[in-house]
Amino acid sequence: MPPSLEVYDTELLKVIKQLHKSRREIWKLKKEGKIDEHNKRQHITSRRDQKMTRRRKGLQHMIFTQDSILDDCRPENMTREVFIKDCEKAVNTAEVHSDEWSTEDEVLANEERNDNIRSGRLISTNSVIKIHNKEWRSSRVKRILFRADEIGVSIGTGLSRKRYRLDDIDKKSRPTQDMANWWISSRWIEPESDDDDDDEDNDGDNNDDDNNGNNDNNDDNNNGNGDNNDNGNNGNADKNDGTNEEQNDDNNGNLEVDEHQGPFYLEVPVDIRRRT
């Protein structure tokens, strides 16, 4: 570390804690087999952040040059000042932008190879990026976002990979209450929740549950002694597991990791702990 930089022990300890937390989370994801899904979600978030940056620059250019699309998309009952503020809010709202998923598609990958536009690091794979459209967005806000993205790409460094806007739909996306009304399509209908269907099924199941209640009680009484024995035998094992978990949590607080917690070691020097 350069001598001109001064770092206090509390700041250094905070950095070490954060590093330890990050490494431990990655280790847990690998152990649980969820690391691939975690990495995929991180790539989606990264692409969305890059898209938002491009569209911010593109919208600024549109406002500066008084792009005609802004006049075409502005609602009649809205002043230009309010409309521009809504546009700026739209490009800075993550929920408005479509997610870009990396998926396998041999046909599209071969087209990129034939057109010599496929990245060298992906030449042996069939991975392509598909945009999942959000159906609730109005044609006005989509037109502004697409135009801003187009300008952002042209005045920036461009895109390293081609995007495909096909028939993929983000069915989980919903507009939020704080969004401008003109962002939301007039044809958008909120899908009905599946909870109603579950309630109807539960009404039918209640009769069966009532009829079977006595039988279940008899079975429970007959099996009571056996369950108690099993619980007694498993009690010590549960206590041992609980003790191990508590020890792991204590280690996290002291920033000391043993070999059972992961393939890494981290310990704060004693002198730092004393001064803090």
pLDDT, tens only, 9-38:
777 777 777 777 777 777 787 788 877 777
Residue 104 three-state SS = strand
Domain residue ranges in the chain: 9-185
Q: What is the largest CA-CA distance in the chain?
A: 82
pLDDT of residue 49: 93
User: Residue 20 phi/psi, 5° resolution?
Assistant: -65, -45
Q: Work out the pLDDT band at 56, boundaries 50, 70, 90.
A: very high
Residue 128 three-state SS = strand
The residue among 235 and 12 whose pLDDT is bigger is: 12
Strand-pair partners of 104: 127
Task: Name the token pair of 219.
Answer: 């079975």
pLDDT of residue 250: 41
pLDDT of residue 276: 46
The mean per-residue pLDDT over the stretch 230-234 comes to 46
pLDDT of residue 33: 80
Cα gap 251→247, rounded to integer Å: 6
Q: Work out the pLDDT band at 5, boundaries 50, 70, 90.
A: low
pLDDT, tens only, 99-149:
998 889 999 999 999 999 888 888 889 999 999 989 999 999 999 999 999
- Structure letter (DSSP) for residue 101: E
Q: Work out the pLDDT band at 246, boundaries 50, 70, 90.
A: very low
pTM metric for this prediction: 0.58
Residue pair 128/110 in contact (Cβ under 8 Å)? The answer is: no
Residue 99 three-state SS = strand
End-to-end alpha-carbon separation of the chain, Å? Answer: 21
Q: Work out the pLDDT band at 244, boundaries 50, 70, 90.
A: very low
Taking all residues of the chain, what is their mean pLDDT, rounded to a whole number?
Answer: 75
Amino acid letter, residue 257 = V
Which residue in 46, 162, 178, 159 sits closest to 99, CA to CA? 46
